[in-house]
Amino acid sequence: MLKSLEPKIIQKMDQKKSLYANVVKQFKKAADLMNLDDDLRKIFIKTDNEIVVNFPVKMDDGQIEIFTGYRVQHNNALGPYKGGIRYHPLVDIDEVRALASWMTWKSAITDIPFGGAKGGIQFDPSKYTINEIERITRRFTFAIGNNIGPEYDILAPDMNTNSQIMAWILDTYLSTIPPQERYRCIPVVTGKPVESGGSLGRDKATGQGVVFVIEEWAKENNFDLSSATYIVQGYGNVGSWAARQLKSYGSKLIAVEDNFGTIFNPKGIDPDVLTNYVREKGSIRNYIDAETIDCKTFLSTKADIFIPAALENQINVETAPLLNVKLVAEGANGPTDPEGDIILQNRKIDIIPDILCNSGGVIVSYFEWLQNKRSESWELEEVDCKLRKKINNAYKRVSDTAKEYKTDRRTAAYIVALSRLKIVYRERGIFP
């Protein structure tokens, strides 16, 4: 894909900390505050199933390479397991475990009848051709086999995966199903191309959801978005869509970082023009209408809103003191580690936590799943309107809970999720 560019991935590799340890810390803080009983703590702290597959793929030069893929299913008390698939060299069981459990909380907060799962393949897609990526995708899907299914475990895009990859997963999965049953299996994957059963608005859903909750935050804080400035880390699906949607409020994008470069223009960077540039060049690097800055300067940029939309653990003990913003709207999963979180709170920088902020993706995945099951195809306005309603309701639930428990929004979001799950466990009990 981007063979000519040298990514920062290598540089970040040795910084990797246990992401699941972050989840456990966040979970425990909420569980203590709401006095969650020990039995439920034991259940939620463990994942239901962890599938690891090693599989061979033939490269373009005829050589065989072995890849490792993961699918972790955290909890399905509220409905089928649901979660994205990530392609990245840092993917490992610890990361997928964390991402899977965040999906459980996300579905619970937004009142969606799904559980939580996540998957990934440990490789750097920028080092492979499109044909190799297709074979890797298909062979992974085949290896995972019937551990996924439209009413069992539903997939979606995440970092470095997109609607084309979802189409290959769908096609491979359907090829393993008897012809008479294929049609009902289309919702095994969401985030598909519209022509292959995808939903209008799914491509922008996560970024759109980020902006809907920023709008709610602005209303709550009497903050004027029309004169706001914002910076974005990660200019892929989530970052670029959030940037483009925020432009329509009159807010100004002034700095962007991606895996290959960092740019700044105090007069404003047009998110639409930048998106077209990234489509053509593969990165924001060398964008003509901005100056190049280093990562530290990017993080220190004075702005109103910071949207991290790349990797986890980016806001930590070293970087949190640098931030010069009023709000961090977490488009990425886990961008703030627990130490960074405390620093931001002490510095009175507001946070809309990931499990609320980026839930637009799973909300519209649910809409896609519903449309497939009902053989319907909704207009974009209908999708957007339903998304706004669902995510705004979730925002209100989290805000009210934060006030009730006198706690931060992240802990409140966990409390909302755990309260819902707690009722289900109480009603259904434990078999046998």
Q: Annotated active-site positions, please?
A: 118
Give the span between the Cα atoms of 235 and 246, in whole angstroms: 14
Give the span between the Cα atoms of 429 and 114, in whole angstroms: 19
Q: Which residue is nearest to ligand NAD (CB)?
A: 236
Q: What x-and-dash track marks residues 74-113 binding ligand NAD by CB under 6 A?
A: ----------------------------------------
Q: What x-and-dash track marks residues 154-193 binding ligand NAD by CB under 6 A?
A: ---xxxx---------------------------------
Determine phi and psi for 88, rounding to 5 degrees: -165, 145
Which region, judged by CB under 6 A, interacts with ligand NAD, from 58-66, 121-129, 329-337, 402-410?
A: 329-337
Q: 31 vs 236, which CB is nearer to ligand NAD?
A: 236
Give the span between the Cα atoms of 70 and 358, in whole angstroms: 22
Q: Enumerate the β-bridge partners of residue 240.
A: none
Dihedral-angle region of residue 236 (phi above 0 means left; psi in -120 to 50 means alpha; beta otherwise): beta
Give the span between the Cα atoms of 204 and 206, in whole angstroms: 6
Which region, judged by CB under 6 A, interacts with ligand NAD, from 235-243, 317-325, 391-399, 420-428?
A: 235-243
Q: 16 vs 41, which CB is nearer to ligand NAD?
A: 16
- Subset of 301-320 contacting ligand NAD (CB under 6 A): 309-311
Give the span between the Cα atoms of 99 and 93, in whole angstroms: 10
Give the span between the Cα atoms of 340 and 319, in whole angstroms: 8
Token pair belonging to 161? 């995966």
Q: 31 vs 72, which CB is nearer to ligand NAD?
A: 72
- Choose, by CB under 6 A, the member of 26, 47, 110, 206 that binds ligand NAD: 206
- Choose, by CB under 6 A, the member of 20, 67, 128, 235 that binds ligand NAD: 235
* Contact call for residues 319 and 340 (beta carbons, < 8 A): yes
Which region, judged by CB under 6 A, interacts with ligand NAD, from 59-67, 176-184, 325-333, 376-384?
A: 325-333
Q: Enumerate the β-bridge partners of residue 52.
A: 70
Q: Residue 257, interface with ligand NAD (CB under 6 A)? A: yes
The distance of closest approach from Cβ of residue 233 to ligand NAD in the complex, given in angstroms and rounded to an integer, is 5
* Contact call for residues 23 and 101 (beta carbons, < 8 A): yes
The distance of closest approach from Cβ of residue 132 to ligand NAD in the complex, given in angstroms and rounded to an integer, is 18
The distance of closest approach from Cβ of residue 180 to ligand NAD in the complex, given in angstroms and rounded to an integer, is 32
Q: Taking Cα atoms as reference points, which of 372, 369, 427, 389 lies closest to residue 111?
A: 389
Q: 31 vs 122, which CB is nearer to ligand NAD?
A: 122
Which region, judged by CB under 6 A, interacts with ligand NAD, from 58-66, 213-221, 227-235, 409-417?
A: 227-235
Which region, judged by CB under 6 A, interacts with ligand NAD, from 59-67, 165-173, 253-261, 317-325?
A: 253-261
Token pair belonging to 323? 């931030």
Sequence-separated (6 or more) residues with CB below 8 Å from residue 32: none
Q: What x-and-dash track marks residues 122-161 binding ligand NAD by CB under 6 A?
A: -----------------------------------xxxx-
Give the span between the Cα atoms of 206 and 234, in whole angstroms: 13
Give the span between the Cα atoms of 347 and 343, in whole angstroms: 6
- Choose, by CB under 6 A, the member of 234, 271, 340, 353 that binds ligand NAD: 234
Q: Residue 277, interface with ligand NAD (CB under 6 A)? A: no
186-218 b/e with 16+ CB inside 10 Å = b?
bbbbbbbeeeebbbbbbbbbbbbbbbbbbbbbb
* Contact call for residues 313 and 337 (beta carbons, < 8 A): yes
- Subset of 343-402 contacting ligand NAD (CB under 6 A): 358, 361
Parallel, antiparallel or unpaired: strands 49-58 and 64-75 = antiparallel
Please count the residues of this chain forming the interface with ligand NAD, following the rule CB under 6 A.
Answer: 25
* Contact call for residues 81 and 107 (beta carbons, < 8 A): no
Give the chain's length.
432
Which region, judged by CB under 6 A, interacts with ligand NAD, from 29-37, 109-117, 166-174, 327-335?
A: 327-335
Binding site for ligand NAD (CB under 6 A): 8, 12, 157-160, 206, 233-239, 257-259, 309-311, 331-333, 358, 361
